[in-house]
Amino acid sequence: MDVSTNQFKNGMTIIIDNILYEIIEFQHVKPGKGGAFVRTKLRNVDAGKVIDKTFRAGEKFELAHLEHKKMQYLYDDGSNYVFMDNQTYEQTPLSHDTVGSAAKFIKEGMEIDMSFYKSNPISIKPPVAVEMLVTEAEPGFKGDTAQGGNKKVITETGLEVQAPLFIEKGNIIKVDSRTGEYLGKK
């Protein structure tokens, strides 16, 4: 099935020159002179590289049909992250490169959404709000309040987060897996 640039949606996966790209963001532009066009940020699903690309309005592309399964993250064997299908108990390894930056948001036992293209696993999506243990935090100062500013903290997965000054080592915080932003304290 083909999809036109005016049907683009964030998260949609299209095929350009036999390469899978996920649309991260797009913007329709109608200049005063000339034809309309669409500016996009695309992530190469295989390489993980993000590119900027501009298309003419109405240009068509093949839509990639992806299958999604709930999987449980089991462990990191050194070169692959290993996931298990909760229905069949079948284990699926994914390379560190394929998982990419999502690795900072997954913990053992966590349920994630894995995408497959032609039965091959291509990417994972952790839950939007992820609870993480703070393993390193600069000390706060007397008089710090919730309104008082931010400091860098490091979570159990090595993720660096800007959090309020009152967050301490040992706290559990919620982090947005799409942006890496602090959402709150548990």
The amino acid that residue 6 corresponds to is N
pLDDT per residue as tens digits for the range 139-150: 766 554 555 678
Residues 16-37: what's their mean pLDDT?
90
Of 86, 132, 112, 20, give the one whose Cα is nearest residue 94.
Answer: 112
CATH number of 67-125: 2.40.50.140
Model confidence pLDDT, tens digit, residues 41-97: 998 887 778 899 999 999 999 999 999 999 999 999 999 999 999 899 999 999 888
In tens, the pLDDT along 148-174 reads 678 999 999 999 999 998 999 999 999
Q: What confidence score (pLDDT) does residue 148 get?
A: 64
Name residues whose C-beta falls within 8 Å of residue 134's C-beta, 6 or more positions apart in sequence. Answer: 153, 154, 155, 163, 167, 168, 169, 170, 171, 172, 173
The reported pLDDT for the residue numbered 97 is: 82
The residue extents of the domains of the chain are: 2-63, 67-125, 129-185
What is the CATH class of 2-63?
Answer: mainly beta
Architecture of domain 129-185: Beta Barrel (2.40)
